[in-house]
Structure 1
Amino acid sequence: MNPIPEVDVHVSLTRRVFLLAYSPERRRLSSRERLGVTLQAAALYELYAQGLIRDHTGKVTATAVRGRAPDCDLAADLLARITASERAHSWGYWVRKGERQATDRVGATLERERVIRFEPHRLLGIVPTRRMLLRQPRLRAAATKAVRDALKATRPVDRVPAVDAALVALTYEGELRVVLGRRERRAARGRVDALEAGLGPVPEALRKAVRRQKSRAAGAAG
C-alpha cells in the first residue's frame, strides 16, 4: 500500500479551517451553512498576509508584490479574480463572492491529497448522500490544539503566531461550533478581540457576512 503523503498544516489556512469544521462523531462537516464564507475569508486572509492584496479605503486591491504563489487553489482563484476585476470591491464582497463553491473546492483538494475520503452513504438507509472520512486525524488534532493554545489566557497575545490567531478569529467569527460551543464562545470573546487586533480587515468582514446570512435567513423564515 502506498503511504499517505504528509501535509503541512501550516501550508494553508483554508485546509485547517475545513478540517476544524469536520465532526468526527457524525463523520460530516458541521456548520456547513457558514463554512463557505469562512473558507473564503481564510483564502482572503492568506493573500493579505502574503502581501498580495491590500486595503485601500475599505476596498481590496491587488499589489505589485510577486511573492510565493498562494498555497491553495481557492486563494489562487480569488487572487486572479481580484486582479481581473474592473473595479475594487469591499472585503465583504470577496468574502461572499464564490462562497457556495468554496467548500467543495477545498474538500476536493484535501481528497486529492488523501487527507480525507468521501464514500457513498444512505441517510436513514434511504436518502443517498456522502460520508466524509478523515484519513489523517493528526492534522485536525494539530489545528484544534493550535486554537486551544491560542485561547489560553496565560499565553501573551503577542506570542501567538499570526496564522494561529487568524485560525481562531475565523473559526470564531464563522461560528464553527464543532470547535467552540456556545459557552466557550461567550468566554472567548475578549480574547478573540485581542487576537484580531493585528489581523487586518478580514475577521470583521467575515463577522458582517455571517450577520448578513442570519438576517436573510430570518427574513425568509418570517
Structure 2
Amino acid sequence: MNVSLAQRVFLLAYSPEKRRLLSRRHLGSTLQAAAMQDLREQGLIADDDGKVRATAARGATPGCDLAAALLTRIVASDRARPWRHWIKKGDRGATGLVGDQLKRERVIRFESHRFLGIVPGHRMLLRQPQLRGAATQAMWDTLKPVRPVARISSRDAALTAMAYEGELRVVLGGRERRAAKGRVRELEAGLGPVPDALRRVVRDRNST
C-alpha cells in the first residue's frame, strides 16, 4: 500500500510494547506538518513569502485523508496564512483522522480490555507490523552519518525530520536526539519551510 508521510509518523509514535500511541504532546501538529510536507512534495501547495499558497494543481485529490482535509481548508481560506497556522489549526483532530484511515485500510485494529480487570479501555494492535518496522528502519538508516545526504530520498528525510522536530521520544530518546541534531539539520536543508515551522510550533507550546 502507498503509505503517506502522516501515516508513517503515526506508526512511529506507536509502541508495540504498550500497544498504544506515545509521545502524544505534539503528535497532532506533527501529523499535520507531515501532511503539509506531502502536499508540498505533490505540488499542491507552495511557499509564497512565508505563507502557504494552493497551486493550480490543487484539483488533485491526496490519498491521505488528513492531507485532503488540510488542502480543502487551505483552498477555502480567505487569505494566505503562515505554515505554522496550518500546522496548529485543527491539530487535535489529526490523530483520530489518521488512525481512522489506518483502521479502515486494515493497518491497525482496536480491541477492548479491562485494566486491572476493572477499568475498561482499548488496545491498538498492528495488523501490518512490517509497516512500522519499515518506517523505523528508514529513520535510523537516514541518521547514519556514512550515508551521503544527497542519496537519501526526500520522503525518508522528511520522516526523520518530523520524528525529530515533533519530539517523538518513543523512537528518538534524549541521547539519540542530541546525537542526531546536526544530521537532522543537514536533512532539513532540502525540505523547505515545513520542518522549521513545526519546530517553532513545538517550541512555542513547550514554552507555555
Q: State TM-score, norm by structure 1.
A: 0.90
Evaluate the alpha carbon distance shift between residue 156 and residue 64 of structure 1 in structure 2; reply closer, same or farther with a 3 A threshold.
same
Query: What's the CA shift string for 1:143-169, capped at 9, x where partnerless?
Result: 011001111100000000000000000
**Structure 2: which 5+ runs fail to align?**
none
Query: What's the CA shift string for 1:155-207, capped at 9, x where partnerless?
Result: 00000000000000001000001111110100000000000000000001111
* Counterpart AA for 2:6: T
Match of 2:25 in 1: 33
Match of 2:85 in 1: 93
Q: Does 1:72 align with 2:61?
A: no
State the alpha-carbon separation in 2 of the partners of residues 210 and 97 from structure 1. 13
Q: Does 1:20 align with 2:12?
A: yes
Q: Does 1:184 align with 2:180?
A: no
CA drift at 1:98: 1.1
Match of 1:119 in 2: 111
CA drift at 1:66: 4.7
CA drift at 1:68: 4.5
Match of 2:166 in 1: 174
Match of 2:156 in 1: 164
Residue pair 1:50, 1:67 contacting (<8 A) in 2 also: no
Residue pair 2:29, 2:198 contacting (<8 A) in 1 also: yes
State the alpha-carbon separation in 2 of the partners of residues 182 and 147 from structure 1. 16
Query: What's the CA shift string for 1:107-142, capped at 9, x where partnerless?
Result: 010111111111123334333322101111100000
Match of 1:196 in 2: 188
RMSD: 1.2
State the alpha-carbon separation in 2 of the partners of residues 89 and 122 from structure 1. 45
Match of 2:129 in 1: 137
Q: State TM-score, norm by structure 2.
A: 0.96
* Counterpart AA for 1:50: Q
Identity among equivalent pairs (%): 66
State the alpha-carbon separation in 2 of the partners of residues 66 and 84 from structure 1. 12
CA drift at 1:67: 7.0
Residue pair 2:15, 2:22 contacting (<8 A) in 1 also: yes
Query: What's the CA shift string for 1:30-80, capped at 9, x where partnerless?
Result: 111211000000000001111111111111110112575212011011001
